[in-house]
Amino acid sequence: DIESYVKGVGMVRDQFFSVLEDLGVSAIETVGKPFDPSIHEAVAVEEAGEEIGDGIITEEVQRGYTISGKVLRAARVKVAKASR
């Protein structure tokens, strides 16, 4: 049945990510963090509201990864910019 199939795919996915983690691959943190051009690629700028500071990441467009501290793929993100 479909539920068993979905559960099986989820288990394979979890095992795959576990192997990547064992190899030193990790996802780059984004939303709510300050923009860092060494690990993030800004694909859009949004006007910052009062609750969000200038240069804070508001949305992750594409997840980025590092391996043993080196960037495999920069995270593509939207960044808040203070209104003037």
What pLDDT, on a 0 to 100 scale, did the predictor assign at position 54?
A: 86
Side by side, which strands form the sheet with 70-73? Answer: 25-27, 65-67, 70-73
Which CATH number is correct for 26-81, 3.40.50.1370, 2.170.120.20, 3.40.50.300, 2.30.22.10? 2.30.22.10
What pLDDT, on a 0 to 100 scale, did the predictor assign at position 84?
A: 62
Whole-number CA gyration radius for the chain: 17
Residue 35: CB atoms within 10 Å: 21
- Give the domain ranges of the chain: 26-81
What pLDDT, on a 0 to 100 scale, did the predictor assign at position 47?
A: 87
For the segment 5-59, what is each residue's pLDDT rounded down to a tens digit?
999 999 999 999 999 999 999 999 999 999 999 999 999 999 877 778 889 999 9
For the segment 17-28, what is each residue's pLDDT rounded down to a tens digit?
999 999 999 999
Do 81 and 48 contact (CB within 8 A), yes or no? yes
